[in-house]
Chains A and B, each alone.
Chain A
Amino acid sequence: MSVSRISKAMGYIDDELISEAESYKPKSSFVITTIKVAAVAFAACLVIAMIINPQPKPDFTITYTSTTSANAEALYAHEIYDHKVFGDCFPTEFADNYFINGKIYIYDNTLEAEFYNHFNLDTIYLHIFPKKYLPQDEVMGRVLYPQNKNSDITSYTWVDMGEYAAKYTSEKCDLATLEGFDKMINSTK
């Protein structure tokens, strides 16, 4: 039998292929299996860790600290109504004698604003954030009062805004009786 042309043609394959076949060492199936097992085990551990210790939700109970995050977007009052996410959630009217204090901060899909009353020196803090972060035990639409007597706040309430929830917190006043507050929470677009 003569040497076929295809066999002779094999003699012209690239040098690099020939030298590779001489020095080639396949990846050990043991190593591959071990890597796969380790990857699966790691993924399983990650899932268990997330179930046991879920990702911390934003702590909206601390309502009176101004946002100083470097990543925060700072808007003036007149700019907030054009904001594509929070423009419709922000009140267009405020409780009597309250005015926006400083800038409005937006960070991590959360809005933070302060309203100040020069007469009674009260501050209302507003936080708007995705409803999925709302603590499960919180009640919407009712004025609530902190259990801790040493708390720095007097009252707060949660307002349902569709995909978002808003939390209004007053330092010194009872929101249930605060004049103009109903008008404020119903004034969103």
Chain B
Amino acid sequence: MLVDDNKIIELFFSRSEKAIAETASKYGKLCLSIAGNILSNTEDSEECVNDTYLTLWNKIPPARPANFMTFICKIVRNLSLKKLEYNRAKRRDSNITVCFSELEEILPDHAISKNFDDEEIGRVISEFLKKEKADARNVFIRKYWYFDSVSDIAKRYKFSESKVKSMLFHTRNKLKKYLIKEGVHI
């Protein structure tokens, strides 16, 4: 039986090594999937997931995350992206490269206003996504946050692949217009 998130956090606070075991049991698969989507390499992915557990151990305490699942997903995502940058010279053919190029169509680095930092752009994207229909919003997040493939998204939400592609295309275009309207695009 899976342990409640609050109990896992308490285990971290009491410095019990069981905290790592319970986290791995509950979220290990999810973490491995996010890292795998980004790195397309099992060894690198497992390394990132282990680094995630270590990061959790170091952050909790003092941190007491309100949403433990999101907290751990963010850590594994960031660590995986860093690892990807580190490996980038030999990783040009990975799936994630395609994802990035799709997003760069929306807003290439040179077009981003210097007045906006990454966190502010994230806030603007959040605002945009909250206004979108639930199907389109969640497909977009699965693709560009979790880096799921189109076929995995189609399976998860029981949509056709062409429908997923179409939703992504339209949401990307709408986001581009929204970012221009909000002044993120220079």
Listed in ascending order, the chain A residues whose CB lies under 8 Å from chain B are: 1-22, 24-26, 28
A13-B129, A18-B73, A18-B74 given as contacts; is B138 within 8 A of A8 (CB)? no
Nearest Cβ on chain A to B87's Cβ, whole angstroms: 11
Q: Please tell me if the beta carbons of A26 and B129 are within 8 angstroms of each other in the complex.
A: no
> With contacts A2-B85, A21-B145, A28-B158 known, is A10 near B122, CB below 8 A?
yes
B67/A15 in contact, CB under 8 A: yes
A40 to B124, CA, bound (A): 40
Contact of B99 with A7 in the complex, beta carbons under 8 Å = yes
- Contact A10 B88, beta carbon cutoff 8 Å: no
**With the chains together, A61 CA to B85 CA distance in Å?**
90
Supposing A1-B100, A26-B157 touch, asked if A15 and B70 sit within 8 A by C-beta, the answer is yes
Contacts A3-B84, A5-B112, A10-B144 hold; do A26 and B135 have CB atoms under 8 A apart?
yes
Main secondary structure of the interface of B (DSSP, over half): helix
Complexed CA–CA distance, A28 and B158 (Å): 8
Q: Which chain B residue has the least Cβ–Cβ distance from A9?
A: B121
Q: Name the CB-closest residue of A to B69.
A: A19
| 3 shortest interchain CB distances as A-B pairs | A12-B122, A9-B121, A21-B141
Of B77, B108, B118, B135, the most chain A CB neighbours within 10 A belong to B118
CA of A176 to CA of B117, assembled, Å: 94
A113, chain B: closest CB distance, angstroms: 59
Number of interface residues of B (CB under 8 A): 47
Residues of A within 8 A of B85 (CB): 2-3
Chain B residues contacting A7 (CB-CB under 8 Å) are 81, 99-100, 103, 144
B141 and A6 within 8 A (CB): no
Q: Which residues of B in the span 56-104 have a Cβ within 8 Å of any Cβ on A?
A: 66-67, 69-71, 73-74, 77-78, 81, 84-85, 88, 92, 97, 99-101, 103-104
Q: CB of B26 within 8 A of chain A?
A: no
Contact partner of A11 (CB less than 8 A), chosen from B88, B100, B118, is B118
List residues of chain B with CB within 8 A of the CB of A10. 103, 122, 125, 144-145
Is the beta-carbon distance between B118 and A12 smaller than 8 angstroms?
yes
- A139 nearest CB across to chain B (Å): 61
Q: Are A9 and B69 interface neighbours, CB within 8 A?
A: no
Residue on A nearest B135 in the bound complex, by CB:
A26
Judge whether B165 is part of the interface by a CB distance below 8 angstroms. no
Give the residues in chain B near A22, CB-CB below 8 Å.
30, 69, 73, 146
Q: Is the beta-carbon distance between A4 and B108 smaller than 8 angstroms?
A: yes
Contact A13 B138 (CB under 8 A): no
User: Which residue among B78, B135, B141, B144 has the maximum number of chain A CB atoms within 10 Å of its CB?
Assistant: B141
Is B130 part of the contact surface with A, judged by Cβ < 8 Å?
Answer: yes
Cβ of B13 within 8 Å of any chain A Cβ, yes or no, is no
Cβ–Cβ < 8 Å partners of A17 in chain B: 126, 129-130, 137, 141, 145
B88 touches A2 (CB 8 A): yes
Q: How far is the CB of A72 from chain B (nearest CB, A)?
A: 50
Q: A16 — which chain B residues lie within 8 A by C-beta?
A: 67
- Provide the residues of chain A in CB contact with B81, threshold 8 Å: 3, 7-8, 11
**CA separation between A74 and B104, bound complex, in Å?**
75
Query: Restricting to B125-164, which residues have a CB under 8 Å from any CB of A?
Result: 125-126, 129-130, 134-135, 137-138, 141-142, 144-146, 157-159
B181 at interface, CB cutoff 8 A: no
Nearest A residue to B65, CB-CB: A15
